[in-house]
């Protein structure tokens, strides 16, 4: 089942790459498409224009998308904004993003961030940044994508075909 799933995701990745988008895998060798986004540099004003909220520590502009999509479709949406499903690099940013999620999303539910575990049990952020912070509550072993539970801002592994709200960063 895991192999079948991977093959499916890989196929989607190849199809997606023809549209100049990239789905990142944890193993760099299998990375398709352009290099990781460099540290985001858009200004606070530009972030505000996108209805985003800016991280004070990383400069990321977090954009909460008020729609539900599967993980891959959410990542493609973020790439259309010249970003990726967001990475989270501190407990403060985790709470910041969760707090805005409660304001923007219509129900207390869950949202995708860009953390996956596709190969070799290595976690990878879609934007290629280092995995230096996680906040897993319930691990849900075997599932490959990550959502944040809005009740308490803890993370859980989720089936990548789940339709969930999502947060991009640019």
Ligand X SMILES: *[C@@H]1O[C@H](CO)[C@@H](O)[C@H](O)[C@H]1NC(C)=O
Which residues make up the interface to ligand X (CB under 6 A)?
Answer: 66, 104, 106
CB of 104 to ligand X, least distance (A): 5
Q: How far apart (Å, rounded) are the C-alpha atoms in residues 43 and 45?
A: 5
Compare residues 38 and 106 and give the one whose CB is closer to ligand X.
106
Q: Are 79 and 168 in contact (CB under 8 A)?
A: no
Compare residues 65 and 76 and give the one whose CB is closer to ligand X.
65
Radius of gyration of the chain (CA): 15
Residue nearest to ligand X according to CB distances in the complex? 66
CB of 106 to ligand X, least distance (A): 4
Q: What per-residue string of b and e applies to 34-59 under the rule 16 or more CB within 10 Å gives b?
A: eebbeebebeeeebeeeebbbbeebe
Compare residues 106 and 120 and give the one whose CB is closer to ligand X.
106
CB of 64 to ligand X, least distance (A): 8
């Amino acid at each position: 089942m895991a192999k079948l799933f991977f093959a499916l995701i890989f196929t989607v990745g190849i199809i997606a790459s023809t549209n100049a988008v990239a789905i990142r895998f944890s193993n760099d060798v299998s990375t398709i498409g352009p290099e990781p986004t460099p540290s985001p540099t858009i200004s606070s004003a530009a972030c505000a224009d996108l209805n985003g909220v800016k991280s004070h520590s990383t400069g990321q502009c977090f954009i909460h998308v008020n729609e539900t999509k599967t993980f891959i479709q959410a990542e493609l949406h973020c790439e259309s904004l010249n970003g990726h499903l967001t990475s989270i690099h501190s407990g403060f940013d985790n709470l910041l993003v969760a707090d805005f999620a409660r304001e923007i999303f219509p129900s207390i539910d869950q949202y995708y961030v860009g953390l996956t575990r596709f190969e070799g049990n290595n976690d990878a952020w879609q934007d290629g940044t280092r995995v230096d912070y996680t906040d897993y509550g319930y691990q849900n072993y075997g599932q490959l994508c990550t959502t944040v539970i809005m009740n308490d801002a803890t993370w859980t592994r989720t089936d990548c075909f789940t339709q969930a709200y999502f947060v991009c960063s640019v």
